[in-house]
Amino acid sequence: MKVLVTGGAGYIGSHVVRLLQQRGDQVLVLDDMSAGVPARIGDAVAHHLDLAAPGAHDALVSILRNDVDAVIHLAARKKVGESVELPEWYYAQNVGGLATLLSAMRDTSVNRLVFSSSAATYGMPDVPAVTEDTPCAPINPYGETKLVGEWMVADAARAWGLRAANLRYFNVAGAGWPDLADTAVANLIPIVFAALKANTVPIVFGNDYPTPDGSCVRDYVHVLDLADAHLSALSYLDREDRPHSTFNVGTGTGSSVFEVLAEVARVTGVDFTPDIQDRRAGDPPYLAADVTRIRETLGWSATKTLHDIVDSAWSAIQ
Ligand SMILES: NC(=O)c1ccc[n+]([C@@H]2O[C@H](COP(=O)([O-])OP(=O)(O)OC[C@H]3O[C@@H](n4cnc5c(N)ncnc54)[C@H](O)[C@@H]3O)[C@@H](O)[C@H]2O)c1
C-alpha cells in the first residue's frame, strides 16, 4: 500500500516510516523540517511542505494524486508551554493544518486516516487509568488542538465517509533504532539524561502527590510499540465493522517519576539523588491508559518494558 506520513521526519513519524518500509509499503513523507531531521527518513520520497502555509491544499492534492491509499498524520506543533504563549498559532498550525489535509483528502477521495492525538486531551483526570470514555477536558491549547482535531475527523467521517482512527498517545519514549532517537529534550527521560550528561542533578517536581511513592505516575510507551500501533490501525480501517474511532495507546501500567529515575540509575550506572522541588501547576497525580479497547479491537498490545525504553534511549545517545 502507498502511505503518506506527515511529520515523517520527526521522532515518532520516522519510526512509523521505517516500520512501513520494512513491511514493503511505499512511503511518502511530508514534513516542513521545522523539527524534523532529514537523515531519519533515508531514501523515502520527501515533500518539504508546511501544512498550514498558503497554497498547502493544492500542493497536497498533487501529492495525494500519486495513488496514495492512506495518510498517517503526525505533523503538529507539540510544545505545551509554547501553546500557552502562542495559542492562535497553535490553532492555525494544528487545527488549520488538519483542515487543509482533510479537504485535500476529500478532493482526491483518499479516505483512510490515522491521526496522532494525545493523552493531553484528558487534562487532569481524577482516575488512575483513563478509558476512551473518560471525559476530555484539556488544560492547554496544545491538548485543545488535539481534541478539536478528533472532532474534525469525526465530522469528516459523517460528511464524506472518511475512515479514521485517532490514537491517543501516552508518554512516548525510547528508540527503535539509534539514528531515530528523540533529540528534543522535552520529556522526562531525555531531560534526566541531559541533566546527567551535564553533571547536574535531575529535578523531581512534587513528592507529596496521592500516589504510592508521592511522585506523579505516567504511562510510558516504547516508540517502536507505538509505531506498530499505527500499522494495526491501518489494517483496522479496512474493516467494515469499526465500532470505535479513538484508542488509547499506552502500556496500561503506570510508572512513577521515582521508578523511572531508579531505572535510569540502573541503566546508566550513575548514582544520583534527585533535587525535590514543589509541584508544578497542571500535573495530574496519575495519567495512565486503560488499554482494553485497543487490545480487544485492534489486537494490539505494548510488548516493551520500562527497562527497554530507558535502555534503548540511553544507548541511542551514546
Ligand atoms: N512525543 C510524545 O510524547 C507525543 C505524545 C502525544 C502525542 N504526540 C503527537 O505525535 C506527533 C509526533 O510527535 P513527535 O514527538 O514525533 O514530534 P516531532 O516534533 O519530532 O515530529 C513532528 C514533525 O512534524 C513536523 N511538522 C510540525 N508542524 C508541521 C507543519 N505545519 N507542516 C509540516 N510538518 C510539520 C515537524 O518538522 C516534525 O518533523 C505530534 O502530532 C504530537 O503532537 C507526541
The pLDDT of residue 128 is 87
pLDDT digits (tens, 9 = 90+) for 223-251: 999 999 999 999 999 999 999 999 999 99
Which positions ≥6 away from 157 have C-beta within 8 Å? Answer: 163, 164, 245
CA of 162 relative to ligand 1 center, distance in Å: 22
Handedness of CA 133, 135, 139, 143 (dihedral sign): positive
Q: Give the residue from 88, 149, 140, 89 showing the smallest Cα distance to 116.
A: 149
Q: Is 118's C-beta closer than 6 angstroms to any atom of ligand 1?
A: yes
Q: Contact 185/255 with Cβ under 8 angstroms?
A: no
Q: Is 262's C-beta closer than 6 angstroms to any atom of ligand 1?
A: no
* Closest ligand 1 atom to 187 CA: 3
Q: Give the residue from 189, 171, 188 showing the smallest Cα distance to 316.
A: 189
Q: Give dist(CA 173, CA 188) in Å, integer.
A: 9
Ligand 1 pocket check: which of 15, 28, 32, 80 to mutate, most ligand atoms within 8 Å of Cβ? 32
The domain ranges of the chain are: 2-172+221-249, 173-219+251-316
Name the grid cell of 132.
476512551
Q: Contact 237/197 with Cβ under 8 angstroms?
A: no
Q: Give dist(CA 15, CA 10) in Å, integer.
A: 9
Q: Annotated catalytic residue: which of 90, 122, 142, 169? A: 142
Rounded average pLDDT per 10-residue block, the chain, 318 residues: 98 98 97 96 95 97 98 97 96 98 98 98 94 97 98 98 98 97 92 94 96 97 98 98 98 97 97 95 93 98 98 95
Q: E strands, 44-170, where?
A: 45-48, 70-73, 112-118, 129-130, 163-169
Choosing among 3.90.25.10, 1.10.10.1100, 3.40.50.2300, 3.40.50.300, the CATH entry for 173-219+251-316 is 3.90.25.10
The pLDDT of residue 15 is 98
The highest-level CATH class for domain 2-172+221-249 is alpha beta
Q: Give the residue from 123, 26, 7 showing the smallest Cα distance to 76.
A: 7
Q: Contact 6/101 with Cβ under 8 angstroms?
A: yes
Q: Give dist(CA 104, CA 96) in Å, integer.
A: 12
Active site residue 11: no
